[in-house]
Structure 1
Amino acid sequence: MSTWLDTPTYAAQFNSSEDFNGSVPRPDDFPEIAEESRSYWIREHRIDLDHTQVDTHLPTNVDVVIIGSGITGAVAALRISEKKPELRTALVEARGICTGATGRNGGFIARPECYHLVKTAKIIGTEDAIKLRKFGNINRDMMLDCIEKLGLSEDVDLRLNGNINVFETQEEKDNALEDIKFAKENGFEPEGYYLDPEATTKKFGLDAELCRYGSALLERAGTFYPRKFVHNLLLTALERMPNLTIHPYTPVEAVRKVETPDVQYEIRTPRGTITSKAVFHATNAYAGNICPPLKGSNGVFGAKAHLLALSPNTPGNRDKQLKYGFGYADFWHYLHQRPAHGSFLYGLADAEILNDYDDSITLPTDHPVRAKMAEMLERNFPDWFENLDLSKDVTHDWTGIQGLTMTGASIVGRPSIESPGEFASVGHNGEGMGRCFASGTVASDAMLAYLDGSEYSPPDWFPHCYRRNI
């Protein structure tokens, strides 16, 4: 089902699956100081847990160790707090809280869902392909339900104004219409729908030439502040769980299964060793560093992505607000404007680099991708941008590490059947906000069933191609 292998950006960097059997670093190999980060999300929202929890005593024995503090790790903590709040749980993070991919992504909630459906069905079968495309909306609804239950809409800057994908070519449009048709023929009525060029231009006020092939629109979608979301999930879990401890700046050096009457694990850190009954891997692209089954061509590997935050620079921009999330060319370009006439956050996947895990380094100022991004903004968003000077109008300039898999499927479940108490939710292929919440919930439920000694089967809606040893 992989589509990333077909793109020119990745194909030019890829020789064979052997390319991905090399060493995997730890996140703390690339230090992150939240206050100095280039990331918009990290710099603009401080997480006080970095300071209030940094000296928390590291327990020596717990029920669960969660490794990673992005959205997946936070969902695991939240799920435990909902179902088994009495469990002794330690969440450890190599750097500051939520300074990895979740603190560096685009902030989108779902996208028009039928993309690549026909192609995917030919590879994995129609039934699972449709589950894949339904899954994004299930993940969205689970996130939105959580936000509503916890009363977080304002706290996480939730904006449900819709996400569109404007087609770049006639072929992309034709494929999208064929995908929608195929979905309906197979009993799936997608929420996302096609808008013709005139309707796209009129509804969104975009340039007619840009919209000449029309677009796909998902109305129940939009953007939010992912780092604020993680912060609130962790605060909620701490309130509910008397035996939850959070440990920033505590990298895991090794995880070792200990053969005892009951399977135990030793999690070694520079601050000491924790013994636990179960381990939850939530470090995405870096997971192979401490979990060998998640390394290599059957595991997850890194791809460095690049984003910019730019201040609108036209005289009248204070009177205008981009009210929707915008994607172009199969969402290869993705951007939105922060509330109250704020910065535009813009990523272009042409910049992505395989097997690069160093998120401390961004693109050179003269990189052609940056010029392409500037030209895109000036041409298609003239109400906000003209004569861009990327040395002046860029307010934040950052990279983040995505976790990719050879198949394009996430890895959710047990990395290895030989290690029954290790669980993971990793490898979301640049679609973390569209996969992490539901995938993290499924992996957490599988882990809790293991701790209870009960059988577990994923929900019927969960794609078979994501399941690993569950």
Structure 2
Amino acid sequence: MSDWMESDTFKAQYNGAEDFAGRVPRPDEFPEDPSTSRSYWIRNHTIELDQIWRDRALPEETDVVIIGSGITGAVVAFQLSEQQPDIRVALLEARGICTGATGRNGGHICRPEVCHFDETVQAFGDEDAMRLKKFAIRNRDMMIECIEKLDATEKVSLRLNGTVVVFETENERDAFQKDIDYATSKGYKSEGYIIGPEEAATKLDLDASRTNFGAAILEKSGTIFPRKFVDVLLQTALRRMPSLTIHPYTAVESVSRPDSNNSLYKAHTTRGVIQSKAIFHATNAYAGHLNVDLQGADGVFGAKGHMLGINPNVTGCRKQLQQGFGYGDFWHYLQQRPGNGPFLYGFATAELLNDYDDRITLPADHEVRAKMLGFLERMFPEWFQNLDISRDVPYDWTGIQGFTMTGASIVGRPSKDSLGEFASVGHNGEGMGRCFASATVATEAMIAYLLGKSYQTPDWFPEAFRRNI
């Protein structure tokens, strides 16, 4: 689970639950043209559906309205197309398709999963701690199974070369070993395990002096091109589902619930009104704009993260970092794109609470930038020397993550009084490790609602994530 509240970065910004009682903006208040985006993912993959569907007329009535076109919205559309291909669905996006958090994240599938096991048990109890720690593994397996079933491994740039998290200190290594031992005592078999300094250095093709305390490794893990994955899911859903329509640049201004005069929900958009039997909120940090039950201390709030895309600048460098890489409890997270491409690098201490404007990146002289460049020069000197922001950093972007007070995602119904509204939000910076499975469960609950059936969440799904299902 997320331990964000304990980090110095967030402690310095947090004054209490009242911090999150303010207005949540709408994504299109921060417009961005994909062709000029500084996000590596957005700039390097055009989603043609944006232009194909941009001017299509809105349907007057549907069975389901999905709000948001990142990985959650795409998974909802995909699962509906697989399980109920004959229903009517409209997917609405305030900006371009997948230009929110999924188009701006680090692209990591998951990481060694047993860390902070003791703390998770203390917060959620033995049984749910087991579910929570296994959840990223199940989510990974569901994603991989879907990608392989669609024969899309190359299309989405799936690389399962492992994720290696180098320990920054001896204490960090000992704490991870303690977590493994504690998890084992509770009957949990961890996939993640510890490797020594020399093996870590060999796997990463680094000098052993940079892996003094060894590393944690998850072998069946790695990286993906998240925006390509969303594209594949949506194109598949469109082929399967004749009555699916997609509407980019169509912001939802409000949602009206059924009343005595109307049995349907109404999605009031910038281009008209759609009536629907069910609404699915897939806008993560922005979800509180449309649903008051997703605001405040029991809801989801934004935290702006920062990424750099940095080209190797050592002349003649032909080395390639094959694995997903983390350092210092994954506060540093990075990957290198194939073909000696740029390093995509995020550093958690750059995060800003309650900041929703993803157009604005850090100032050129921000201290976090200097720390990031210094880290690369120190850890990867064969790739980087004397880095210069203006010369070596073509990609420099931010993305808005959805956080919750507990670190648990919110999956299900935002309110028990609005049975046709569903959501999967608040993944606490672990979206790629939670979204597929969470969206699938929430979609199954929504399908049961549409069919007038009861729904029981799977035994493996964490109690901590469940909201009114």
Is TM > 0.5 for Structure 1 vs Structure 2?
yes
Query: What residue identity is the alignment partner of 2:349?
Result: D
**Cα distance in 2 for residues equivalent to 1:5 and 1:328:** 19
**Cα distance in 2 for residues equivalent to 1:15 and 1:169:** 30
1:22 alignment partner in structure 2: 22
Q: Is 1:276 equivalent to 2:282 in the alignment?
A: no
**Cα distance in 1 for residues equivalent to 2:316 and 2:195:** 29
- For residues 62-109 of structure 1, the C-alpha deviation after alignment (integer angstroms, 9 at most, x for no partner) is 000000000000000000000101111000000000000000000001
Q: Relative to structure 1, is the Cα distance of residues 214 and 63 closer, same or farther in structure 2, using a 3 angstrom cutoff?
A: same
**Cα distance in 1 for residues equivalent to 2:31 and 2:254:** 19
**Cα distance in 2 for residues equivalent to 1:415 and 1:109:** 27
**Cα distance in 2 for residues equivalent to 1:237 and 1:198:** 46
- Aligned ranges for residues 42-441 of structure 1 at < 5 Å? 42-260=42-260, 263-317=263-317, 319-441=318-440
Query: What residue identity is the alignment partner of 2:325?
Result: F
Q: Contact conserved, 1:111 with 1:218, CA < 8 A, in 2? A: yes
Q: Contact conserved, 2:26 with 2:289, CA < 8 A, in 1? A: yes
* Gaps in structure 1 of 5+ consecutive residues: none
Local SS of the residue matching 2:390: coil
Query: What residue identity is the alignment partner of 1:239?
Result: R
Query: What residue identity is the alignment partner of 1:440?
Result: A
Q: Deviation of residue 412 (structure 1)?
A: 0.1
**Cα distance in 2 for residues equivalent to 1:250 and 1:127:** 42
Q: Contact conserved, 2:53 with 2:247, CA < 8 A, in 1? A: yes
TM-score of the two chains, using structure 1 as the length reference: 0.98
- For residues 155-174 of structure 1, the C-alpha deviation after alignment (integer angstroms, 9 at most, x for no partner) is 01111110011111222212
Q: Contact conserved, 1:316 with 1:383, CA < 8 A, in 2? A: no
**Cα distance in 1 for residues equivalent to 2:158 and 2:19:** 39
Local SS of the residue matching 2:85: coil
Query: What residue identity is the alignment partner of 1:247?
Result: H
Local SS of the residue matching 1:62: strand
Q: Higher mean Cα deviation, 161-170 or 91-100?
A: 161-170
Q: Deviation of residue 315 (structure 1)?
A: 1.3
Q: Deviation of residue 261 (structure 1)?
A: 8.6
How many residue pairs get aligned? The number is 469
**Cα distance in 2 for residues equivalent to 1:86 and 1:146:** 21
Query: What residue identity is the alignment partner of 1:54?
Result: R
Local SS of the residue matching 1:424: strand
Query: What residue identity is the alignment partner of 2:149?
Result: K
- For residues 207-242 of structure 1, the C-alpha deviation after alignment (integer angstroms, 9 at most, x for no partner) is 433322211000100001000000110000000011
Q: Deviation of residue 187 (structure 1)?
A: 1.6
**Cα distance in 2 for residues equivalent to 1:115 and 1:296:** 28
**Cα distance in 2 for residues equivalent to 1:205 and 1:38:** 29
**Cα distance in 1 for residues equivalent to 2:204 and 2:274:** 54
Q: Contact conserved, 2:285 with 2:400, CA < 8 A, in 1? A: yes
1:32 alignment partner in structure 2: 32
Q: Contact conserved, 1:206 with 1:381, CA < 8 A, in 2? A: yes
1:443 alignment partner in structure 2: 442
**Cα distance in 2 for residues equivalent to 1:383 and 1:202:** 14
**Cα distance in 2 for residues equivalent to 1:51 and 1:335:** 32
- For residues 29-86 of structure 1, the C-alpha deviation after alignment (integer angstroms, 9 at most, x for no partner) is 0002110111000001001111000111101110000000000000000000001011
Q: Is 1:457 equivalent to 2:460 in the alignment?
A: no
Query: What residue identity is the alignment partner of 2:451?
Result: D
Q: Contact conserved, 1:62 with 1:89, CA < 8 A, in 2? A: yes
Q: Deviation of residue 259 (structure 1)?
A: 1.8
TM-score of the two chains, using structure 2 as the length reference: 0.99
Query: What residue identity is the alignment partner of 1:131?
Result: R
Q: Higher mean Cα deviation, 167-176 or 342-351?
A: 167-176
Q: Contact conserved, 1:263 with 1:421, CA < 8 A, in 2? A: no
Q: Contact conserved, 2:2 with 2:428, CA < 8 A, in 1? A: no
Q: Higher mean Cα deviation, 187-196 or 297-306?
A: 187-196
Local SS of the residue matching 1:222: coil
Q: Deviation of residue 263 (structure 1)?
A: 4.0
Local SS of the residue matching 1:223: coil
**Cα distance in 1 for residues equivalent to 2:170 and 2:8:** 18
* Gaps in structure 2 of 5+ consecutive residues: none
**Cα distance in 1 for residues equivalent to 2:303 and 2:216:** 27
Q: Higher mean Cα deviation, 247-256 or 198-207?
A: 198-207
Q: Higher mean Cα deviation, 170-179 or 77-86?
A: 170-179
- For residues 236-262 of structure 1, the C-alpha deviation after alignment (integer angstroms, 9 at most, x for no partner) is 000001100000000000001122498
- For residues 347-401 of structure 1, the C-alpha deviation after alignment (integer angstroms, 9 at most, x for no partner) is 0011100000000000111111111011111111011111111110001100000
**Cα distance in 1 for residues equivalent to 2:420 and 2:262:** 10
Q: Is 1:8 equivalent to 2:4 in the alignment?
A: no
**Cα distance in 1 for residues equivalent to 2:403 and 2:322:** 31
Q: CA RMSD in A?
A: 1.1
**Cα distance in 1 for residues equivalent to 2:261 and 2:272:** 24
Local SS of the residue matching 1:108: coil
**Cα distance in 1 for residues equivalent to 2:151 and 2:176:** 36
